[in-house]
Amino acid sequence: MEQITVTSPLLPDLGEFTDMLKDIWAKKWITNNGEYHRRLEGALAEYLKVPYVSLFTNGTLPLITALQALRITGEVITSPYSFVATTHSLWWNGIKPVFVDIDPATGNIDPDKIEAAITPKTTAIMPVHVYGKPCDTERIQAIADKYGLKVIYDAAHAFGVEVNGQSILRAGDMSTLSFHATKVYNTIEGGALVMHDAKTKQRIDYLKNFGFAGETEVVAPGINSKMDEVRSAYGLLALRQVDEAIEARHQAAIRYREALRGVDGVTFFDDMPGVRHNYSYFPIFIDADKFGMTRDELYFKMREANVLGRRYFYPLISEFTTYRGLPSAAKENLPVAHRMADTVICLPMHHALTNEDIERVINLIK
């Protein structure tokens, strides 16, 4: 049986890409805020319905750079149920992560538990819109305002997600995106920071270019994270296909839900009212007693049948050697996150799944 992978990159048309490459070759401008870079920033701002976008070489450096730009220090409250880059960005800034448990209804940081984790050293909250499901941004902002904290959203999963017609990327002080090959929208490797005003955009553009504010002036110890012209061109073409890709994912999600609803011991998320989802992942949660098999037993059975799910997010970030000694990493502090991490499998979910692929996955689980 042919292999079914958990994801598959959204590849632009090779002919159109070649035409753009010829243009780039002719212009001999291959990086440093070139025409394609500027065009992609504009196109993304329009598509995402946000005022400003700054492109990066991946989705990790925008997290690190946002923390730098906002001069975040001390302690930052975050979720252990994410990809490890979220917490690594704090470590790279010498910030102590403080893990807070998640809400079982969404997998996102539980707003009810944030206040108890605030100390005089807390300067910011870094929530994650996990699987692209929007956090409770209003409640998080209310807490941030009450205690004078910044909010940086890791929105790596939330490309194109809207709540009541408004981009989720408008929440907080800044939001970061990843355009890695495995994501809904990709530039092979790439990412972006989304901000709300021109001054912040300017500051970020300095920081991602070594801090250069002009030919001879360096205003900060910046990093190098400029997206090049080749990937920007790829991104322009991929953007034309992303709506269709999201719709294909939506259809797959509908079919999965139809077939798995009522299977004993299998639960999953439904769409949230008023939300435009991007169907970036399709996590299911296995209750071993009811299902008759543990999550890992199912996971390895699927692998034997050449169906590659992924245990996103297992282990929790708080379990990795760098972080497990932190007081907030204690298992008793994070019961919901542990339960989800121990029971989750993300099913194959991408734009190119065929109906036969989907039925194969469903039959295997049933």
Ligand X SMILES: *Cc1c(COP(=O)(O)O)cnc(C)c1O
Looking at the DSSP assignment, which residues form a beta bridge with residue 124?
Answer: 76, 150
Per-residue contact string for residues 199-218; x = within reach of ligand X by CB under 6 A: --------------------
Among the candidate windows 14-22, 152-160, 295-303, 343-351, which touches ligand X by CB under 6 A?
152-160
Separation of alpha carbons 144 and 269, rounded Å: 27
Interface stretch with ligand X, choices 56-64, 93-101, 118-126, 281-289 (CB under 6 A): 56-64
Q: Which is nearer to ligand X, 102 or 358 (CB)?
A: 102
The answer to whether 225 contacts ligand X (rule: CB under 6 A) is no
Contact 184, 48 (CB under 8 A): no
Would you call the peptide bond into 210 cis, given omega within 30 degrees of 0 as the criterion?
A: no
Shortest Å distance, C-beta 106 to ligand X:
14
* Helix, strand, or coil (residue 258): helix
**Does 58 participate in binding ligand X (rule CB under 6 A)?**
yes
* CB-based closest residue to ligand X: 59
| Residue 191 lies near ligand X (rule: CB under 6 A) | yes
Tell me which H or E stretch contains 243: helix 229-260
If one asks whether residue 128 binds ligand X (CB under 6 A), the answer comes out as yes
Q: Is the dihedral of CA 196, 183, 337, 91 positive or negative?
A: negative
Q: Which helix (H) or strand (E) holds 318?
A: none
Stretch that binds ligand X, among 95-103, 153-161, 197-205, 233-241 (CB under 6 A): 153-161
Q: Contact, 14 vs 317, CB < 8 A?
A: no
Q: Which residues pair with 166 in a beta bridge?
A: 163
Phi and psi, residue 3, nearest 5°:
-75, 135
Contact by Cβ (8 Å): 41, 53: yes
353 vs 251: CA distance, rounded Å:
10
Q: Is 59 in the site for ligand X (CB under 6 A)?
A: yes
Candidates 132, 133, 121, 137; CA nearest to 156 is: 132
Residue 365 within binding range of ligand X, rule CB under 6 A: no
Nearest-approach distance from CB 50 to ligand X, in angstroms: 18
Q: Coil, strand, or helix at residue 18?
A: helix
Residue among 44, 156, 184, 346 that touches ligand X (CB under 6 A): 156
From the CB of 289, what's the least distance to ligand X, in Å? 30
CB of 57 to ligand X, least distance (A): 9
CB of 178 to ligand X, least distance (A): 3
Q: Return the CA Rg of the chain.
A: 21
Residue 180 sits in the site that holds ligand X (CB under 6 A): yes
Between 175 and 333, CB nearer to ligand X: 175
Q: Is there binding between residue 133 and ligand X (CB under 6 A)?
A: no
Query: How far is residue 286 from each of residues 279, 307, 360, measured CA to CA in Å?
Result: 20, 17, 18
Task: Convert residues 74-103 into a mask of x (bound to ligand X by CB under 6 A) and - (unbound).
Answer: --------xx-xx-----------------
Which residues in 307-336 contact ligand X (CB under 6 A)?
A: none
With CB under 6 A, what is the number of residues at the site for ligand X?
14
What are the residues binding ligand X (CB under 6 A)?
58-60, 82-83, 85-86, 128, 154, 156-157, 178, 180, 191
